Amino acid sequence: MASTLKEDDVKDLTIGVQTATSQEDIGKNLGIKKLVSLPKTPDLVAQLDKGLIDGIIVEKCVGDNYELSNENLKIEDSFTLKLNFKGQPLD
């Protein structure tokens, strides 16, 4: 099934991100109006499970793992961002 979710679709939702991560930067750059920053991904998953947030921004492998290990969670839709990082890797 192809994704129907677009970047603009999440701007008015309450979206969770892990504090001080690239996911938090992505949420801010997407212009999400209700961004919930928490220190740990399990805290975000708990908020999502309780219905306190509409979704979370995580790496695909992280989301897939939580979906497999929690019968209450299901990835309903997603979209992929292509990031253009500037700088050089650390040696």
Per-residue pLDDT of the chain (91 residues; tens, 9 = 90+): 556 778 888 899 999 999 999 999 999 999 999 999 999 999 999 999 999 999 999 999 999 999 999 998 888 888 777 767 677 766 6
Please name the amino acid found at residue 11. Answer: K
Q: Are the CB atoms for 52 and 72 separated by under 8 Å?
A: no
Domains of the chain: 7-69 (3.40.190.10)
Q: Is the dihedral of CA 23, 35, 63, 81 positive or negative?
A: negative
What is the C-alpha to C-alpha distance for residues 91 and 82, in angstroms, rounded to an integer?
A: 24
